[in-house]
Amino acid sequence: MQRYELKGVAATGLKKKPLWPWLLLAAVALAALLIFLPGRKDPAAEVPPAAVISPENEVLPETDQVDLLPVVDLEEQGSGQQILEEMYTPWRYYRSLLDSRQQGYYDQIAAAVYRHEDLLTGIIGIDSDELMELAGMVWLDYPEYFWMESSCSTTIWTPGVPGETVTVDLQLHFSMDEQQRQEIQARLDERCAPILEETRGMDDFHKVKYVYDDIINSTVYQHGERDQSLCTVLLEGEGVCAAYAKATQYVLDKVGIRNIYVLGQADGEGHAWNIVQLDGANYELDTTWGDPLNDDGSQTLTYNYFCITTEEMSRNHTRDASYVLPTCTATDCNYFRHEGLFFDYYDIQILLPYLTDAALNGEEATLKFADSALLNQAVEAMLGDAFELEELNKVLENEGCRVAVFWHNVDEEMNVLNLSFEMES
C-alpha cells in the first residue's frame, strides 16, 4: 500500500472525511478576525492607483471645492477658530469652468500630484490636448503643489487590433523629489507662520494689504534659475512675475482670501497677476507691478495696482483669452479709495493736511484722481506757474521747517501723482 504524507499526518488508505465543515469553521473564524482586527482599513475607501482613468472611475467627489488634504480632527487639534481658518478651502476657479466629465480627469490629475506620482497611464475617453489642458488648470489652481511644473507631455497608444481602445499616458514634470518637497514645505510653513499670526482677525482688505506689502518688501525682481517658482520669492526673496503671482496666490490661500492666478500679457510681454475676492467683490491685483524698478535700480512699494477694476487693468494688461475670468468692477477696496486718497475734484486746501503729514514724516505723498483731466489739473496747479505747493510751506513754517525741493512723477494710466519732499529748517 502506497503511503502519503499530508503536512506530517499519515494517510494510510483511510477514507477521507468531508472538508466542508472545516472550511465553514475557518471562514467564520476569519470573518470574526476581520471584524475585530484593530486599525483595519476598508479597501473600498482607499484611492486606487491611477492605472486607468476615465470619468466613470473618478476617485474624488464632484464638487466645486476639492480639498485633497487629510481630514482634521477638531477635538484633537485644539483651538476651534484656528482649525477653522486652517481648513479654509481655496478657490479652485479653473475647475469650476469644467463640466463633470472634465472634473473627473482634473481630480485624478490633482490626486496624482498630491501623491507625487508623475506618470498616469492607460487613460481613456479623452484626447491628449484636452488632457494636457486639464493638467495645466490643476497647476493654475494649486499653488501649494509647488513641485509641479506648468509643462507636461503625453504618449498616445494606438492598438494594432481594430476595435481596441486608444489610451493616453500623461507625464507630469516635478521639480523635486518627495524628500525635497517635505523639506521645502517645512520652510514654507515657517515662512508663512508669522503672516498667519499677524493677519488673524483682520478684515479682508487688511489681510490682502499685509500679504501684498510682505511679498513686495521682501522680494527683488530678478531673473534666475528658478525665477518662476513661488519658493524663490518666499524663501530666497527674488523672482519674476510668475513667482510673485504664485507666491501671492499661495499666501492669500493660507490667510483665507479667495483668489485666482491670471495669465496674460503686460505691455506686450508675458505676465501673471491675480484676481482677489474681498467682501464678496472681485478686484485685480498685481504684486509685481506694485514693486516697480526705478531708474537707479531700486524698487519702491506702490499701490497703483492694488485692488483695481478690470477696466483699469486692461489699460496695459491683457488676459489670456483661453479662460473666462470674472470682470472686476468694484472700487470700495481700492487702496486709494479705502485710505481717503482718491479725489474726484481738485482743491489744494483739501490736500494740504495729507501733504503736510507726508512732508513732516519724510514720506512720499501719493494721490489718485478720478480721470486724466483732474490729474493734469492738479499737476499744473501745484507745480506749474501758480505753484500752489508753496501753500504747503506756509503751513510747515509753523512747524519750523519748509520744503526746499519738490520731486514728482506721474502714472498717467492709473491717474496717480507721487510727490517727494526735501526738507530744510
Position with higher pLDDT, 21 vs 89: 89
CATH of domain 340-424: 3.30.110
Q: What is the pLDDT of residue 176?
A: 97
What is the percent of the chain with per-residue pLDDT over 90, rounded to a whole number? 68
Mean pLDDT of the chain: 83
Give residue 312's identity as a one-letter amino acid code: E
C-alpha to C-alpha distances, 58 to 54, 93, 141, nearest whole angstrom: 7, 20, 19
What span, in angstroms and rounded, lies between the C-alpha atoms of 391 and 404?
13
pLDDT tens-digit profile of 65-105? 333 333 333 333 334 334 434 456 789 999 999 999 999 99
CB neighbours of 53 closer than 8 A, spacing ≥ 6?
105, 108, 120, 122, 123, 124
Which of the residue ranges 47-61, 83-97, 318-332, 398-412 would you say has the lowest mean pLDDT? 47-61
Task: Find the mean pLDDT for residues 346-362.
Answer: 93
> What pLDDT, on the 0 to 100 scale, is given for residue 261?
98
- The string of DSSP letters for 338-387 reads HTT-EESS--HHHHHHHHHHHHHTT--EEEEESSHHHHHHHHHHHHSSS-
275 φψ region: left (φ > 0), alpha (ψ -120 to 50), beta (else): beta
Nine-digit cell string for 197: 499670526
Mean pLDDT is highest, among 276-280, 299-303, 419-423, for: 276-280
Residue 125 above 50 pLDDT? yes
* SS3 call for 253: helix
Q: pLDDT-based confidence at 389, cuts 50/70/90?
A: confident
Residue 262 bridge partners (DSSP)? 273
Q: What pLDDT is attached to residue 152? A: 96
Specify the amino acid at residue 192: C
Regarding predicted confidence, which is higher, 407 or 4? 407
Q: Residue range 13-25: average pLDDT?
A: 42
CATH of 180-337, one of 3.30.1370.60, 3.40.50.300, 3.10.620.30, 3.90.1580.10: 3.10.620.30
Pairwise CA distance, residues 366 & 359, whole Å: 12
Confidence grade of residue 9 (pLDDT, cut at 50, 70, 90): very low
**pLDDT of 320 over the 80 cut:** yes
Domain residue limits, the chain:
4-33, 48-69+77-175, 180-337, 340-424
Confidence of residue 297 (pLDDT cuts 50, 70, 90): low
Inter-residue contact 257 to 207 (CB < 8 Å): yes
Q: Per-residue pLDDT tens for 23-50?
A: 445 554 444 444 334 433 333 333 333 3
